[in-house]
């Protein structure tokens, strides 16, 4: 049976970590082994990425893996560690917010990443549509009495479409999500540090960036101290931790073939 008091405590700890001087680094894991390894390395909270989780079960990113598969994978991770875990549920799998939040909490996660790419339709949500869904998720979490930490992601830089000014569009979307109840915001595929600075100057919530665990933060290989100086509050690895490990396999085993 799910212990909602424990989940509420973990959610509160995860939220608080977004408001400290040093950015919270949430290494992106995909199974019980990687989760235990990262906690053993000293990390006090984790993220689960949809891409590496899908890879771990022989599927593909973009909601090719079913929601039930995703939630089962999230449950395996959360059941293996005693730290707060946030999970990427892509665009929400065309699922009503109360059902998505119920499934997330039942799996043991206390944060969720939601993007504005609707994979089943191959389109971006409108700014208003995405903010509305974020608001629905906030209300659903409140109904469960757990402050699920909502990371609102926009893919405008990844899929610019016909936007005349992608930076302005991303900022507009992120601020609408903030008003709707998000706790942090995530503009993926930022093109350069100057754009990152512009976004940071015009959003009110903690901002998430993607980092390569060896090379630094995308796109300009910024290290943790540089990100802190800029005002970044949250760092995740996306699929890059898993991919980096894959790159080393040949080196580890070169004497055996």
Nearest to 73 by CA among 84, 60, 92, 87: 87
pLDDT at 158: 96
- Residue 222 — φ and ψ, nearest 5°? -75, 140
R_g (Cα) of the chain, nearest Å = 17
Please give the Cα distance from 173 to 159 (Å, whole number).
14
So what's the pLDDT on residue 189?
96
Closest CA to 242 of 80, 47, 64, 97: 47
- The predicted-structure confidence for 196-217, as pLDDT tens digits, reads as follows 999 999 999 999 999 999 999 9
Q: What is the 3-state secondary structure (H, E, C) of 95-164?
A: CCHHHHHHHHHHHCCCEEEECCEECCCCEECCHHHHHHHHHHHHHHHHHCCCCCEEEEEECCCCCCCCCC
Outline where 203-239 has alpha helix (H): 224-230
- What pTM value is reported for the model? 0.97
Full strand arrangement of the beta sheet holding 85-88? 28-29, 46-48, 85-88, 111-114, 149-154, 184-187
State the pLDDT at residue 1: 73
CB atoms within 10 A of CB 64: 12
- Residue 109 is predicted with a pLDDT of 98
Q: How many CB atoms lie within 10 A of CB 232?
A: 21
Instruction: Count CB atoms within 10 A of the CB of residue 242.
Output: 22
pLDDT number for residue 247? 86
Question: Which segments in the chain show pLDDT lower than 50?
Answer: none
Number of other residues whose CB lies within 10 A of the CB of residue 178: 18
Strand partners, 209: 235
- Beta-bridge partners for 123: 118
Check residue 250 and give its pLDDT.
87
Question: For residue 140, what pLDDT is reported?
Answer: 98
Domains and CATH numbers, the chain: 4-256 (3.20.20.60)
Instruction: Report strand pairing: 216-217 vs 208-212.
Output: antiparallel
């Amino acid at each position: 049976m799910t212990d909602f008091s424990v989940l509420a405590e973990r959610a509160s700890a995860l939220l608080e970590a977004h408001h400290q001087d040093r950015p919270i680094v949430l290494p992106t894991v995909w199974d019980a082994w990687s989760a235990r390894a990262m906690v053993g390395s000293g990390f006090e909270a984790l993220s689960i990425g949809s891409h590496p989780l899908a890879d771990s079960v022989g599927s593909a990113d973009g909601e090719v893996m079913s929601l039930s598969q995703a939630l089962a994978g999230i449950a395996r991770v959360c059941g293996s560690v005693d730290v707060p875990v946030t999970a990427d549920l892509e665009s929400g799998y065309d699922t009503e917010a109360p059902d998505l939040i119920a499934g997330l909490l039942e799996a043991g996660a206390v944060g969720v990443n939601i993007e504005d790419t609707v994979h089943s339709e191959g389109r971006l949500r409108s700014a208003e549509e995405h903010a509305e869904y974020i608001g629905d998720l906030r209300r659903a979490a409140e109904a469960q009495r757990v402050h699920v930490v909502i990371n609102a992601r926009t893919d405008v830089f990844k899929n610019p479409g016909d936007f005349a000014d992608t930076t302005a569009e991303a900022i507009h979307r992120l601020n609408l999500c903030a008003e709707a109840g998000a706790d942090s915001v995530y503009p993926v595929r930022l093109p350069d540090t100057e754009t990152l600075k512009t976004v940071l100057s015009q959003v009110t919530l903690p901002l998430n960036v993607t980092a390569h665990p060896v090379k630094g933060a995308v796109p300009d290989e910024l290290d943790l101290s540089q990100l802190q100086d800029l005002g970044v509050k949250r760092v995740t690895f996306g699929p890059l931790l898993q991919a980096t490990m894959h790159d080393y396999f040949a080196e580890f085993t070169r004497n055996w073939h």
